[in-house]
Chain A
Amino acid sequence: MNCRPDALVIGAGIVGAACAAELAACGLTVTIVERHVVGGGATAAGMGHLVVMDDNPAELALTRYSLELWREFVAGRKQQNEYSPCGTLWIAADAEEMAAAAAKQATLATHGIGCELLDAAALYRLEPHLRPGLAGGLRVAGDAIVYPPKSAALLLAQAQQRGAQLLSDDVLAIDAQGVTLASGGRIDAGLVLVANGVACAQLLPELPIQPKKGHVVVTERYPDFIRHQLVELGYIKSAHAGSGDSVAFNLQPRPTGQLLIGSSRQFDRSDTTLDLPMVSRMLAHAAQFVPQLAQLKAIRCWSGVRAASPDGLPLLGPHPGLQPNRTNVWLAVGHEGLGITTALASARLLAAQITAQAAAIDILPYLPARFPAIIDTAPAHA
């Protein structure tokens, strides 16, 4: 075991694994600490959608950059990642959403992201199972899907090939020299990189990370039932709600022929017990877009917890606190529903900052220091 690794990464989900791989590639000695199964947290619970999102310029820059990195990563490894370049089809239910689709098309096109506006006829040619009466949509062909636990395992393997070591343990606390572990030991490290999702709030209570619970249902195999990941443009309305439970239409065709059905959002719920009324509501909403869904068989339902930040952007960079137990802490948390999409870019941006190299995109919007409150509220002692 590395006795004083340059970097200790907390969490072997997709973000932690990507960071470990990137830091190891930069020549750092890395130890990753994971308390459960690699890729077994939010990484396993989400849909694995690689999607360009343009709610704001910083989100667009990050997702766009990360998707380029994903394309490089899966080249030659498509099957291992269960990668499928199915693209996203944003559904416009009415004229208002059609206008939003057009605006989205303009923004994406400005940034060189290929997409095509679809009228109703074109929409139904592509996806005949959608309910009649929709206005049209926007097809983003470069979006794709992966199976995140496998991608996390691949990234971890990459890290390990470069000398990184995986430790099955739980981090109890971060101090000035490193971390203390549940097993009773401690690891001193040059820096500590926190990449453990919602659990980061246990280690660093000052972080403004809020849990947002979601549900997913997976069906039996129905190959070619739909061809793209279908998302309603109305999704944006629910994703931005400040409070309250909401559902949105999100339907994904997996390479196995199974369908993943999402999505739901519940604030401040950090348990993963199934909320049946939410599942029913989510499925009812989905069936409004694809009526035949009601005839298909669900074989499993589960829930997961996203780690949400106040402005919808992850925290990627040094912890701004001046206390000894924060000065060597780096953060890669708060990815909410874009953890899979932005994992690779997050890793690059962290590695660039840690090794004092130029980053490929502007890092400012994602710096943790943008939340000054966390400097003051961090405890002085571990």
Chain B
Amino acid sequence: MKQQFEIVIIGAGPAGLAAAHAVAASGAAIAVIDDNPHAGGQIWRGGPQHSSDARAAQLWSALSQANNVRFFNGAKVLLPSAPGALLVETPDAAFTLGYRKLILATGARERLLPFPGWTLPGVTGAGGIQALAKGGYPVAGKRIVVAGSGPLLLAVAATLKQRGAQVLAIVEQAPLHQVARFALALPATPAKLLQALRLRAELAGIPYHMHSHVLRAEGDEHLTQVLLQIGAKQQSIACDYLACGFGLLPNTETAGALGCTIADGAVQVDRWQQTSVADVYCAGEGTGIGGVDLALAEGRIAGLAAVGDLAQAARHVAGRRRWQGFAARLARAFALREELRQLADPDTIVCRCEDVRHRDLQQHASWRSAKLHTRCGMGPCQGRICGGATDFLYGWSQDSVRVPLTPARIGSLIAADSQE
């Protein structure tokens, strides 16, 4: 079955919703696909109508009233089936979506680095536990250490605290002077400064350690404590959860499958958010990590450009530039220290899908060699988790993007042939 739209937007997070809103006024038939049960992406997870961010509620209100915007939730893009067409799978069906213009707003995932014990139940990503908690994961009364890198750790700690968790510490790998420089530059983005001050108030009483990282997660079949490097000293903390993430990585796989140019791990776009492939745009974290404000600006520009309204799109360029500056400051401040490459010991699992250890991988010269000879990357995560780790640990970049982009029912792949 094929459904044809003027504009298809992949991703219903801030960038996708901003793009949809920008396009909606034109009256064009729009489809927004998202693989989660509700729109909102990660930062507005659970539905933008429930978010505390007023912009989320505004966008959602406008979009739910627009009768030319169709949402497909729980929908995963399997592959580009033909020029201008995507094969999509939902829990019950598979169908083709046709588009004249495509906007990729596929967001980001966490960079999860291996360390001893990281595969224990109870160890999650930082964004990971936030996502889980928003889905009802029981965190009230649980003792949680939040670790890794980036301002996301603070947002996560705040979410956890609001839900009744006992956040024992926030462990940031970046050194104090870098974090301080970032903080001092916040007045350039008053909204961010306000957000930071609010967070600081909310998190008062929770130790925030810089130049610090996790050494080991310990426990038998579940996490019971973590060993931390706090500055020059080591400290053990008993806890129920360790939420550890080292920044974000753009989700570039769909763009790669479409043939878009990817450089430095991000989708390359021009000033109108257009990729190297005609009629394909990219907005939000996919073009480079920059947070919700940049995503909204890019989404607006992509949407307006996609319907040909360059004059309106141009009005948002200055705002985008400001948020790009913020993104650059963010990247510099929270760059990963070299020592983190030593976190994994020889026995540490690097590929979780196939249980491949650090010592099995070190001898290989490339991603492909490792994959063929150790099975690293051959599991259902399709190299998304281990790829970030092996890039950081060994400097490997992955070979070409493989389809399907996500594990797909064979019936869906069979259906691809009969679509018109």
Contacts and interface: CB of A to CB of B under 8 A. Distances in A.
Contact of A277 (B79, B379, B417): B417
Contacts of B379: 299
Contact of B373 (A150, A294, A300): A150
A11 interface: no
Interface stretch (A21-29, A70-78, A279-287): A279-287
B344 to A, nearest CB: 23
Contact of B410 (A149, A287, A302): A287
Interface string A125-154: 000000000000000000000000110010
A38 B369 contact: yes
A293 B415 CA distance: 13
Contact of B404 (A44, A149, A150, A301): A301
Interface in B369-420: 369, 372-373, 378-380, 382, 402-404, 407-411, 413-417
A300 to B, nearest CB: 5
A300 B378 contact: yes
Contacts of B372: 37, 39-40, 44, 149
B414 A294 contact: yes
**Could you tell me the dominant secondary structure of chain B's interface residues?**
mixed
Given A37-B366, A281-B417, A297 B402 contact: no
B413 A298 contact: yes
A295 B409 contact: yes
A36 B369 CA distance: 9
A181 interface: no
Interface residues of A, number: 32
Nearest to B408: A298
Nearest to A150: B373
Contacts of A283: 410, 413-414
A327 interface: no
B414 A284 contact: yes
A274 B403 contact: yes
B250 to A, nearest CB: 22
A295 B368 contact: no
A220 interface: yes
B378 A294 contact: no
Given A274-B403, A276-B79, A37 B413 contact: no
B81 interface: yes
Interface string B7-39: 000000000000000000000000000000000
A180 interface: no
Given A220-B380, A293-B410, A294-B410, A284 B373 contact: no
Nearest to A148: B372
Contacts of B382: 299-300
Nearest to B367: A37
A277 B87 CA distance: 12
B403 to A, nearest CB: 6
Interface of A: 36-40, 44, 149-150, 153, 217, 219-220, 261, 274, 276-277, 279-281, 283-284, 287, 293-302
Given A44-B372, A300-B378, A301-B403, 5 more contacts: A40-B368, A153-B373, A276-B79, A277-B417, A280-B416
21 contacts: A39-B373, A44-B372, A149-B373, A217-B413, A220-B407, A276-B79, A276-B417, A280-B416, A280-B417, A284-B414, A287-B411, A294-B409, A294-B411, A295-B409, A295-B410, A297-B407, A297-B410, A298-B410, A299-B382, A300-B402, A300-B404
Interface of B: 79, 81, 366, 368-369, 372-373, 378-380, 382, 402-404, 407-411, 413-417
